[in-house]
Chain A
Amino acid sequence: MAQLKTPADLKYAKSDEWVKIEGGEAVFGVSDYAQDSLSDVVFVELPTVGTEVKAGQPFGTIESVKAASDLNAPISGVVTAVNSALEDAPEKVNTDPYGEAWMIRIKPSDLDELNALMDMDAYTKYCEERG
């Protein structure tokens, strides 16, 4: 577990998505723990620009050789950009979950929702508890 990365500048949801605030916008992806538990990712389905996403509600799906799961929005807002490269190269989720495999960018509607999320320390502990 120790070798899994949990960057300090992100916030994390219980359902293992991360969010990063960048110049008034928020970027979502899934954590290193999530990609490691999912194993080889074979398919990512994302919303289109303009879609409204709600904190805790699904915004897309991710499928690995093991299972298909919902992608849940850590915070609410409207989608401004989508990483369409993941359509052809979903394996980037495994190789670079915090970089190339960002999923969507949104205009957040309520930044206070960030307070309900975990920081690096809390998330690392949460992952360790699950083994």
Chain B
Amino acid sequence: METINQLKTLEPLIYDLGSDGRFSPTLMPACDVPEAELPTGLTRDELYLPEVAEMDVVRHFVRLSTMNYAIDKGFYPLGSCTMKYNPKINEDMARLPGFAQTHPLQEQETVQGNLALMYELQQWLAEIAGFKGVSLQPAAGAQGELAGILMIRAYHLDRGDDKRTKILVPNSAHGTNPATSTMAGYTVVELPSDDKGDVDLEALRKAADETVAGMMITVPSTLGVFDHNILEIVKIIHDCGGLMYMDGANMNALLGVAKPGEMGFDVMHYNLHKTFSTPHGGGGPGSGPVAVNEKLLPFLPGPIVKVSEPGTDEYAALYSWHTPEKTIGRLKAFHGNFGMHVRAYTYITLHGAEGLKAISRYAVLNANYVRVKLADTFKVPYNRMCGHEVVLEGRLADAPGVHALDISKRLMDYGIHPPTNYFPLIVPEALLIEPTESESKETLDHFIEVMKTIASEARENPEVLHSAPHVTPVSRLDEVLAAKQLVLCCRPAYLDKEG
């Protein structure tokens, strides 16, 4: 409650800014349909809608936006989330009337441009990861995962193999991987990591039997490292009859450098809202296309776009919807989050093949630069060449009582968004840092310097960390209350007074 009160002091609720009957003149179209009274039983008056002038609304939300933190405001090294800069041209393209004002139920002859864009995006995403087919349906990464595991299940059942009940998941995977497997009705078998951060091959060999439907692995893993034995892992699973799922949320490390399809993976999802710069973290929605090899092609969620008539010199190609033969079905109404397809298409066009490769090379370079520069100050538990992110231990031997959370909160005082805390679970006091390719060397140097300053403060003046943040609109949040009180409802102050 303290936090909510702090916030209300800074900025009242919009309900408390209004007054009965206050409004701004506006131009509404004339009513061109007959008017009718609402049936009395269906009207209600308990909805308190704010009555405010246009200027009040604008000022209210502009003030709130200045209290927010975003990638457009500063460095945002939130590991596992790829908070790269989202170029504004993406927004311009998504707002072109030809895209923005089409309706998903329009006849396909009238939306050929949209279909062409989706078809090309399907092809590009297949090419980038070395797969044969792509469905753009999944609304976000977790739904892409679910699609992938449902396809693996459909594949086994289609062959009459109904004895496979397990999915193997390394303990360095994203938390959504075991959740997805469970949602799809499988039993999850967790595999340990070895001391280098790779999958423990001995444990894998022991677990790989004829009851295994497949394995879900995050590459690079949440430890930020690329498994040395990835080809061996794929072989072990294929030898026992299982299929390989790659969580492609970390594709920002691999663009133009390594193709999961060529490593032997059968299915993978992308997060367009990570790798391909479509907005996320409140700016969404997400988009999690799923890519497959030949084995799973008939099972893709549909409809997908195909070429129904190839183009000639004179005429453009014609595109149409196509439902794959043994599809697992629809995952979402209409055709996925189309606005995100436009943004990702724009981003890929903007960069081209060489540009995409450069993105991953700089993302990996930036993460390794931070790793090497901070390795003297913080323990790097898996101190080897990392991918696009690096995990540190957010604790110091000579500053007992200072936790990763304290370091993160203190970073906010220096105007930097905290890294991911306490994930991956297998690193104590984990700080998972993902700088992305967007950032300049100056920004990285500033971050490194701030991290070193905070380490000194932890030793000399730990209280300044425990009580951080000090300069943000609200001070430290009550995380226990936030986890326990699931229903939050802001009501106008006059209603609170009435009780």
Contact = CB atoms under 8 A, between A and B. Distances in A.
Contact of B480 (A37, A65, A69, A131): A65
B422 interface: yes
A66 B482 CA distance: 12
Interface residues of A, number: 13
B425 A67 contact: yes
B484 interface: yes
Nearest to A91: B480
A42 B405 CA distance: 17
A96 B480 CA distance: 17
B428 A40 contact: no
Interface string B477-496: 00110111000000000000
B421 interface: yes
Contacts of A63: 483
Nearest to B484: A42
A40 B479 contact: yes
A42 B422 contact: no
Contacts of A39: 403, 405
B480 A66 contact: no
Interface in A82-131: 91, 130-131
A86 to B, nearest CB: 13
A130 B381 CA distance: 12
Interface in A5-46: 37, 39-40, 42-43
Contacts of A131: 428
A37 B428 contact: yes
Interface size for chain B: under 10, 10 to 19, 20 to 34, or 35 or more residues? 10 to 19
A130 B479 contact: no
B428 A130 contact: yes
Contacts of B482: 65
B483 A43 contact: yes
B428 A66 contact: no
B421 A66 contact: yes
A8 B277 CA distance: 55
A31 to B, nearest CB: 15
A95 B403 CA distance: 19
B425 A42 contact: no
A42 B428 contact: no
Contact of B422 (A43, A67, A130): A67
Contacts of B421: 66
B427 to A, nearest CB: 11
B422 A40 contact: no
Contacts of A67: 422-423, 425
A66 B403 CA distance: 12
Nearest to A65: B479
Interface in A47-75: 63, 65-67, 69
A131 B422 CA distance: 15
Given A40-B479, A42-B484, A43-B484, 8 more contacts: A39-B403, A40-B480, A40-B483, A65-B482, A65-B483, A67-B423, A69-B425, A91-B480
17 contacts: A37-B428, A39-B405, A40-B479, A40-B480, A40-B483, A42-B483, A65-B479, A65-B480, A65-B482, A65-B483, A66-B422, A67-B422, A67-B423, A67-B425, A69-B425, A130-B428, A131-B428
Q: Which 9 A-B pairs have the closest CB atoms?
A: A42-B483, A66-B422, A65-B479, A40-B480, A42-B484, A67-B425, A65-B483, A42-B480, A67-B422
